[in-house]
Amino acid sequence: MRYFLELRYDGGAYCGWQRQNDVPSVQRTIERALSTLLRSETETVGAGRTDTGVNASYYVAHFDAERPIEDCARLVYKLNLILPPDIGVMAVSPVADDAHARFDAVRREYRYYVEQCKNPFTRGGSWQYYVPLDVDAMNRAAERLLHYDDFTSFAKLNSNNKTNICHIYRAEWERDGDRLCFTICADRFLRNMVRAIVGTLVDVGRGRYSVGEFDDIVASRDLSRSSGGAPAQGLFLSDVVYPEDIFERKAR
């Protein structure tokens, strides 16, 4: 039987979601815990990759169990007992045998946090950047992203992407006191894409680029013209959406 696993994690100690040899990953850590509790070697398939140091306030993976899980809530409880403090499981739900955490997802949402004051208690979950920023200009530039579908200008080199086409539905900065939050929602994302977009938008905010120049960067399909990627710790995968007949989010 197949199950969807809803979880969240602090990515600071991991090479990312993806299982890799000889380095810690979120996927491998989850698989070890599941294998221990289900008493069978258990592999997971995630909704997508997150890079080294990137966090997830909401993430979905699927796994197959040899026998039906009688009490999903108890499995969640036991998983959280044996998982490290930086990974938390929120729900386990049965789904159809052909449901797929990655391929059935229709939208993903990321949030990036920038703090404009020094705060030692939040340094692991934000980019603390003290230069004054023109948020209105950053939002005018972000709105231009909705007019494009080729994001080669923000695609990591040698990523083996079959296509750099993505459809962005939302891209917006919001201010909450000294903290800025950039929310971006699309059908798919390229490796390092969100961090490269954030880094370039911040350069708009500090006056390095105008909104028109940002527009030209996107249109150029030239990675060398965009800014360096923003630091990993400020980035969170915050939502994964599926068709209602496939899966409906349980954890909030």
| CA 208 centroid distance within chain | 27
Pairing of strands 127-128, 107-115: parallel
Radius of gyration of the CA atoms of the chain, in A:
19
Q: Rounded to an integer, what distance in angstroms lies between the CA atom of residue 6 and that of residue 105?
A: 13
Question: Of 61, 58, 2, which is closest to residue 29 (Cα–Cα)?
Answer: 61
Name the strand (E) or helix (H) holding 194.
Answer: helix 193-205
Q: DSSP assignment of 95-158, as one string?
A: E-TT--TTTT--EEEEEEEEESS--TTSGGGSEE--S---HHHHHHHHHHGGG--B-GGGPPTT
Q: Rounded to an integer, what distance in angstroms lies between the CA atom of residue 60 and that of residue 241?
A: 10
Is 51 an annotated catalytic residue? yes
Catalytic residue among 51, 104, 203, 215: 51
Residue 148 corresponds to which tokens in the numbers above? 């494009």
Q: Rounded to an integer, what distance in angstroms lies between the CA atom of residue 128 and that of residue 79?
A: 33
Q: Which residues are catalytic?
A: 51
